[in-house]
Amino acid sequence: MTHSSELLSTLEDKYRERVRIIKNGPCRSSFILYWMCTAMRSDENPALDIAIYTANRLSIPLLVYQGLSNRYPFASDRHHMFILEGARDVQQQLAKKGIPYIFHLEGTSRVPALKILANMSSLIITEDMPIPHLRSWTQKLSQNTETPFWKVDSACILPMSVSNQRYERAFRFRDDFTTNRNNRILQEWLSPTLEHTTPLPTLPVAPIDLQSAILSNLIAQCPIDHTIPPVQDTRGGSKAGYQRWKKFILHSIEAYHYKRNDPNAHGSSRMSAYLHYGQVSPFRLAREAARKKGKGAEKYLDELLIWRELSYHWCDKTPNPTRLSALPQWAQITLSQQSSTVRLQQQPWESLLRAKSPNHLWNLAQQSLLRHGELHNNLRMTWGKMLHQWTESPEQTIRWLLDLNNRLALDGRDPSSYGGLLWCLGLFDRPFPPSKKIYGTVRVRDEKAHRGRLNQERYMQHVRRNENTSSTAIVGAGISGLTCARTLIDQGHNVKIFDKARGPGGRTSTRISRQDEDWIFDHGLPFIQFTDPRFELWVKAWKNADVIRSWNPKIKLWKKDSLLTTERTLYVGNPKNSSVAEHLASEINVQTQERIVQIRYTKQGWILTNQHKNEHGPFLRLILTLPPEQLYELLPNRLSIPGHKVHSHPQHALMMRFTQPLHLEAEAIQFQHHSLYWFCKESSKPTRPPEHQWTLLTQPSWSSKHLEEDPKSLVDILCTDLSNTLQTPIEPVQHQIHRWRYAQADNPLQIGSWWNEEYQIGACGDWLHGGSIEGAFLSGAHLAGRLMTQ
């Protein structure tokens, strides 16, 4: 068996200097595995070239494996689509070269394909990408295999292994490697031809044919963030990338040095997303730009070879580029000295994400990220610096800068993103005394001056291009309808919601009395919890925005007769549970007291008829968010939702006020009883009036039996059951009872949402996504994602 170190010594110098050994050892005689992650291209790709070379040298086949996980940070429809489009090109190009390639979508199969293949192969080759999650994935794989493992720098013209020290100033990095760099700029990368295509062993997953697959359907199956849609005018893949590059090098590079700083001049290359995913070769870009010559090309090369690669080399030598400790000492000190400065204008993360800060220019920049997944480089510097005034600390600034950028930007999570974002807090820079509030001696960017340089009106038109003015109607302003609406509206869609109730919220409503301001009962959803990280993100965002508060009641599980303090924190709306829906509904056109009794499809779109026989519409698209029984009734016969018929179970809510406190050890009790289900003290929730008010929710099976009885006639029965069970008199001075005919789905579907492309009609709601408020939220997001991915 050939030893991997022996194999390495046979490589040409230009390849060998790019290899870093993760694991050495004897190479078994099976096949070379190229695990393609961040150099998604078949041309000018040193990792692929080395894989072909070693396969030829050992006279064995080569397999290129690309897996798309759901677990990479900020996985969303946007990133998934860009990667899938790139993988489609790779599949086609490698097929032409006769190189076997498998694409594995983790969302559709849970087989640990990479681990299996790694343990079967002779040598594993991947790219050297110095970003935290890829570092840890590579490390994890190496711990799970004995197979020799190399990583190859396929991203930098000056390989990262060439520099030993961590450079923090661009001029030093530029000057120290001028010759080294110049020697490599014009280097040609001609791939060797694969010689051995002997059959591979049986593969652990069936490869997906990306040429015929409908990518939006694949994405809809993946449990990722569906609220961030693909970017309409930036398609992924080498073909699209090189098309954009050709246009730039033919028409724009000459003026790059004076146009690149004005977002309205459209003078930048917009190649960063393609470079980040390695869908275009930086070697080709550098070579072609160098051959162009002139001031524009020089400036472009300075950005590509110095600023971009400085960040790569810096990340390579920085264990964790997401921490404050990654900044230069002087920046850490000056920012810490300002930590106690009171920030008057702190903003919640959610407002920032949704481009709702107090500053118009910042919001336009953020909207560009939100809708188009890109932000002009010069504006990104002002955007990043400004964010610091709205956070509570420099640590939070770093966290939020990385979050907003990596979540939305197609070039997010790239080493140059880390470099660029941390520049906003002093990286690659020097102190600028005198010290200023909040920023210390970190360079400040004058927003007013930037506004003066930029034609904001023109930039706004540019950012708001592609707005979808075709109208969408949503029936139902519960959590699912509101989530769907808000996601679409944030992306520029025109949405109107109709609800039969007096306000938004649906089953999360709170009962309030007009005569008695202390009569506040969360008589529907009693509290919020999360299990899915995608919902957790928003629960935490609402907490950060003070829309909800945490609630840690002492809960007694009755049957077990033991008092438990909840392990998991629960959340309730502030000052009432319907506050969440009201928060989601702000800035949405919700028409209340509109019961939709009929929907009709016409050539012009959907027409909705309300209880007074008034018509609304036509709307191009229609989304129904009602509980299942009500939705089936409204849906025209020719349309049906796949899967079993879902039923809801009813529940009664008995709201009671007492003159004296009830002497129970707990603030909430969960029963296993024929009629009683949940009994909770409203005043134990934060920001509720101090009145002795308790809400009882009934067992669904009991409510089913008593569904058609007058609810008022059930109050005595329930009070007696409570008294007997708790061994204490239950004698409310005031009470109200509410019947929820459709409280919760009995046997929810797990399809996310339903969409019919032909009729442009869809449905979302808790019952399509596993039930619960979490399901309602995720279902609304899922449907919005489907519409925007079409």
Ligand X SMILES: Cc1cc2nc3c(=O)[nH]c(=O)nc-3n(C[C@H](O)[C@H](O)[C@H](O)COP(=O)(O)OP(=O)(O)OC[C@H]3O[C@@H](n4cnc5c(N)ncnc54)[C@H](O)[C@@H]3O)c2cc1C
Judged by the rule CB under 6 A, the positions of this chain that interact with ligand X are 475-481, 498-501, 506-508, 524-526, 594-596, 625-627, 630, 651, 653, 697, 740, 743-744, 765-766, 772-773, 776
DSSP string, 431-442: --SSPBTTTBTS
* Position 476, amino acid: G
Cα dihedral 294, 296, 299, 300 sign: negative
Task: Compute CA distances 435 → 106, 429, 444, 445, whole Å.
Answer: 50, 15, 10, 14
Report the residue number, 386 or 654, with the smaller CB distance to ligand X: 654
> What residues pair up with 692 in beta bridges, in sequence order?
658
Residue environment code for 379-415, b if the CB has 16+ CB neighbours within 10 A, otherwise e? bbbbbbbbbbbbbebbebbbbbbbbbbbbbbbbbbbb
Q: Toward ligand X, which CB reaches closer, 107 or 618? A: 618
CA separation for the pair 253, 297 (Å, rounded): 6
Q: How far is the CB of 620 from ligand X (least distance, A)?
A: 19
| Amino acid sitting at position 560 | K
Shortest reach from residue 70's CB to ligand X, in Å: 23
Q: How far is the CB of 615 from ligand X (least distance, A)?
A: 14
Tell me the C-alpha distance between 690 and 683, whole Å: 5
Nearer Cβ to ligand X, position 343 or 540?
Answer: 540
Q: Based on the number of CB atoms within 10 Å of its own CB, is 321 exposed (0-12), middle (13-18) or buried (19 or more)?
A: buried
Beta strands in 552-595 (DSSP E): 554-557, 562-565, 570-573, 589-591
What is the rounded CA–CA span in Å between residue 103 and residue 633?
43
The distance between the two most distant Cα atoms of the chain, rounded to a whole number of Å, is 91
Cβ(391)–Cβ(346) under 8 Å? Answer: yes
Give the nearer residue to ligand X in terms of CB position, either 274 or 498.
498
Residue 327, Cβ neighbours under 10 Å: how many?
Answer: 23
**Are the CB atoms for 618 and 602 separated by under 8 Å?**
yes
Q: How many CB atoms lie within 10 A of CB 326?
A: 20
Q: Calculate the dihedral angle through the C-alpha atoms of 305, 307, 312, 313, rounding to the nearest 10 degrees.
A: 80
- Measured from the CB atom, the residue of 289 and 484 that comes closer to ligand X is 484
**Cβ proximity to ligand X, 391 vs 630, nearer residue:** 630
H/E run at residue 623 = strand 621-624
- Cβ nearer to ligand X, comparing 148 with 481: 481
Nearer to ligand X, 721 or 766 (CB): 766
Least Å distance, CB 779 to ligand X, is 7
Please give the distance of CA 418 from its chain centroid, rounded to a whole number: 18
**Does residue 732 have a cis bond before it (omega within 30 degrees)?**
no
CB of 275 to ligand X, least distance (A): 42
Nearer to ligand X, 408 or 584 (CB): 584
- The letter for the amino acid at 103 is F
Closest CB to ligand X among residues 244, 616: 616
Q: How far is the CB of 693 from ligand X (least distance, A)?
A: 16
Of 382 and 472, which has the nearer Cβ to ligand X?
Answer: 472
Nearest approach in angstroms of CB 348 to ligand X is: 23
CB nearer ligand X, residue 264 or residue 592: 592
Smallest distance from the beta carbon of 78 to ligand X, in angstroms? 25
Give CA–CA dist 577/625, Å, rounded. Answer: 19
Give min distance, CB of 644 to ligand X, in A. Answer: 18
Say how far apart CA 527 and CA 163 lie, in whole Å. 55
Q: Cβ of residue 511: shortest distance to ligand X, in angstroms?
A: 11
Place of tokens 């808000």: 486
Closest separation in Å from C-beta 55 to ligand X: 53
Q: In whole angstroms, how far apart are CA 515 and each of 481, 508, 519, 520?
A: 30, 22, 9, 11
What three-state secondary structure class fits 694?
A: strand
Place of tokens 């690149």: 260
State in angstroms the smallest separation of the CB of 771 from ligand X. Answer: 6
3-state secondary structure of 209: coil
The CB-of-562 to ligand X minimum distance in angstroms stands at: 21
Closest separation in Å from C-beta 479 to ligand X: 4
Least Å distance, CB 607 to ligand X, is 14
Which residue, 394 or 526, has its beta carbon nearer to ligand X? 526
Least separation in angstroms between residue 636's CB and ligand X is 14
Our CB check for ligand X shows the closer of 643 and 729 to be 643
> Of 394 and 765, which has the nearer Cβ to ligand X?
765
Pick the closer one to ligand X by CB: 412 or 506: 506
Helix H segments across 248-357? Answer: 256-259, 272-276, 282-292, 295-301, 309-316, 329-337, 349-353
List the one residue out of 684, 589, 699 whose CA is nearest residue 654: 699
Distances (CA, A) of 188 to 99, 159, 183, 299, 341: 21, 15, 11, 22, 54
Nearer to ligand X, 373 or 524 (CB): 524
Alpha-carbon distance values, 248 to 69, 171, 232, 251, 300 (Å): 33, 27, 19, 5, 11
CA-wise closest residue to 117 among 51, 65, 160: 65
Least distance to ligand X, CB of residue 724, Å: 23
Q: Which is nearer to ligand X, 43 or 532 (CB)?
A: 532
Q: Least Å distance between CB 313 and ligand X?
A: 49
Please give the full DSSP string across 353-377, using - where no structure is assigned: HTT-SS-HHHHHHHHHHHHHS---H
CA dist., res. 276 & res. 79, Å (int)? 11
